[in-house]
Each structure stands twice: as C-alpha cells, then as structure tokens.
Structure 1
Amino acid sequence: MAFTTDLAAKLTRDASSLPQTGLSGQWLQRLLDADLAAVHLFSRSARPKAIRFLAIGVSKLGNGWIYPILLTIVFLGLGWQGWHVVLLAAANAALLHILYPIIKRRFCRKRPFHVDQRLPSLLKTLDEHSFPSGHAMTLTGVLAPIVLAWPAMSISAVVLVISMAWSRIATAHHYPSDVIAGIALGLGLAFPLSTYALALF
C-alpha cells in the first residue's frame, strides 16, 4: 500500500516521470495528458477580457472574501438561529485547512502553468502545489452545513462550486482532477460531520 501511494505521488509530480512501458503507465499518461488538455480548453475560455476578469474575480473570492458574504446570507435567511450553521461551516473550513496542505506536500503536483509554459497564470498562487484544490475543497466544506440546514440553497451552492472549479482551471492553477478531488474530499469530510452535528442541535 505504501509503495502504491509513493508511486502515485511520484507520477503526479511530473508527467515525464511516468513509465513508458506497461498498460498502467500508458493509461496514467493518457489521463494526465487529458487533464492538461482540459486546462488548455478552460484557459482558452478565459481569453476574452470580461471572462478573464470573471475567472480572476471568482478565484479571488475563494481566497476568503466569499465567506463573510455567505455568513451574511445565512443570517439573513435563517436569522440568528443560523449561528450553529456558521460554526459548523467554520469548523469544516478549519479542518480542511489543516488537511489539504498535508495532502499537497505529499503529492507535490506541479501546477499546470508550471508544467506547460504556454498556459498563462492569471493571478498569484497562495501555495506551490496543485493537488487537491484547496479553494474547491474549502468552499464545498463550508457549503455542506448550509445546504443541509437550508435546502433551498442547494442550486445556488452547486452554481458556486461549479463556478469556483471553472475559475481554478481557467486561471491555469489546477487540473480538473484537482478540483474534483477537492470537491470529493470536502463532501466526504464535511457532509457526514455536518449531518451528525446538526442532528445534535
């Protein structure tokens, strides 16, 4: 198991490190190539000035600015009784912020614009590594208790997560697999914890 994990970590560092023989190596290479090709596609979608501005703006919101906005929305929608939802969202964010840097240091995956110089980075990065997407992971974790306590927010939450995922790829900071992993980790941790905690209130 440890060998498999170490091999996966090495493979994600640089596509050139993949073995060129063997079926598994070929499939991994194809997956990484498809991942990078998708980044090029998303990056091209942000070439128009207005779309580029949108991608940068959404990404910057994920740096932290979106969370006071969500807090305000929760209190407007649920009143002061929404305090437990806010506490749960903050606890999820704190837990995920402890977890994702550990995972990033473990895999050490280079960001797309470092792997392919043709990809423009549209803004500064908060850290060096790509996998998983901390923006997607944290936003998903924060939204989990909000959606559980306020189901009417479900569609808005999905739109927010998809927008954040798009922006992180369009800015060439992440691969699709990074944001999918971030969303999955955010859901996998925050959803059961939030479900259990909300049942106690």
Structure 2
Amino acid sequence: MSDYTLNASVRNDLGKGASRRLRRANAQVPAIIYGGEQAPQPIAVDKTSFYKALEDEAFFSSIINLQVDGKAQQVVVRDLQRHPFKPLVTHADFLRVDATHELTLNVPLHVIGEDACAAIKDKDGELHQLASEVEISCLPKDLPEYLEVDISAVELGSTLHLSDLTVPAGVTLVALTHGEDHDNAVLSITKAKVRGGAEEEGEEETGGEAAAGEGDTE
C-alpha cells in the first residue's frame, strides 16, 4: 500500500460561489470528508500535492493520510467531479476509513506474463482485456493497490473470469458474492484476425475474373 499524505484545511465558506472563488485562487480544491460516526466535513485540499497524487494510478486504491488543520485522518477517494472540458478537478469526495470495518472500492487489474504466453507468441493469439478494474471488499490493512492477472500459461481460445483471479488473503471480489451469474469475464485470448496474403489475393482474383466476364459480354 502506497503512502500518500495531503494537507487540507476546514472550509467554512460554503456554497457554489465560495467553491468557485476557492478554485480561482488556484491554490486549493474544494472537497468533503464523510463516513464513520463523525459528521461530514467540508475541506479545502492543497492543489499542488493533490494533482501530483492524481497522476499515480495507485492513489485511487490507497489509504490516504489527510492532514486537516494538522489533525490526521485516514481516507480513500470516493468520487471526483471534473470540469467538462478543462483538465481540472472541481470537487473531491473522501470516505473516512475505520481499521475495524471493511471498505469497498475498485482496484486496477494488471496483466502480466504476456511475453511468456505461447498463445500470443507462437500461435498468433490476440489479448482482449475486458475489465480494467474490479470491485473488492477488505479491511484497510489488506487493501491491495492492484490485482495481477498472470496469462503466461493461458491457452488460445481461453477466457478468464473473476473466479480465475488470485486475490490476497482477506480480499473478496464483490461480484462473486452475488452468485455465479456475476462471474464476469475479465480477459480472453483469441486467434488474431489477419487480412492480407492469400485472402486478399483470392479477392483480387475473383474481382479480376468478374471484370473479365463483364468485358466478354460487351
């Protein structure tokens, strides 16, 4: 689990106008912390460190140390609101983390072993990744940054489902708790569709014969 620390301050000036003024000041991002037994708390997050953290994929599946006016809270990112066309975050939602309670969030899937996969190397297989992330549930201490999918031994024509994933101890795939009908496919390896060569030559010959036939009838 990566270690991220963000500095923030309590935000007392509320409302859309206040949020716009805060963003225009170009130093902080309006946000809120909620969850647990405490009341929701509007805050303003330091923009520079926040934007830098957003560049890291692991930030979205990590416990964040949020320093609010010097008081530490552990949170995870629950939602981000973005500007419709500018590369700006207009608001952030953080969920408080309780070490004794499980949390549910999405983590990325990282495919490994492609270089060693005979179905791709030797049999012209093509990888199709059908899911880029999965929803998991676990205690904060067991939260993985991502899950790995090793395809080094996957055969041509095979499809891997959620039930084929290896997850760390203490981690549950949420979809599988809803029954077998939710055992969704996450990737497959199929024979690559190749155009060209004999196929195109055959088409050209067919086209040529048709053209010649048309000429004979004139």
Q: Normalized against structure 1, the TM-score is what?
A: 0.23
Between structures 1 and 2, the one with greater helix share = 1
Q: Normalized against structure 2, the TM-score is what?
A: 0.21
Q: Which has the higher contact order (CA 8 A, sep 6+)?
A: 1
Between structures 1 and 2, the one with greater strand share = 2
Structure with larger Rg: 2
